[in-house]
Amino acid sequence: MEAKGFIIAGTSPDGLLVELIELRDHPWFLACQYHPEFQSKPNAPHPLFKGFINACLAHGELKRWERRVGIK
């Protein structure tokens, strides 16, 4: 998997299970085995959700800029 760009970013405390993977060369991709939604509240989101929202906003800004300068 690592040869295809997957990065093991987190494991279980005993190190036997992969808990979090990321994809190299992607602006924002991850997959997790745990449940960050259980650690989130509307006014205090888990860092994974906060990071995802920030990546979406940045992507939207990039797309708006590309449209303004004529890049598709």
- Mean pLDDT to the nearest integer, 52-67: 90
Residue 36 has pLDDT above 90, yes or no: no
- Give 57's pLDDT tier (boundaries 50, 70, 90): very high
Q: Please give the sequence-ordered ranges of beta strands (E in DSSP) within the chain, or none if there are none.
A: 6-11, 18-23, 30-32
**Dist. CA 44–CA 28, nearest whole Å:** 21
Say if residues 35 and 44 touch (Cβ distance below 8 Å).
no
**How large a percentage of the chain has pLDDT more than 90?**
44
Say if residues 28 and 55 touch (Cβ distance below 8 Å).
yes
Q: Does the predicted TM-score (pTM) go above 0.75?
A: no
The predicted pLDDT at position 11 comes to 95
pLDDT in tens, 17-30: 999 999 998 888 98
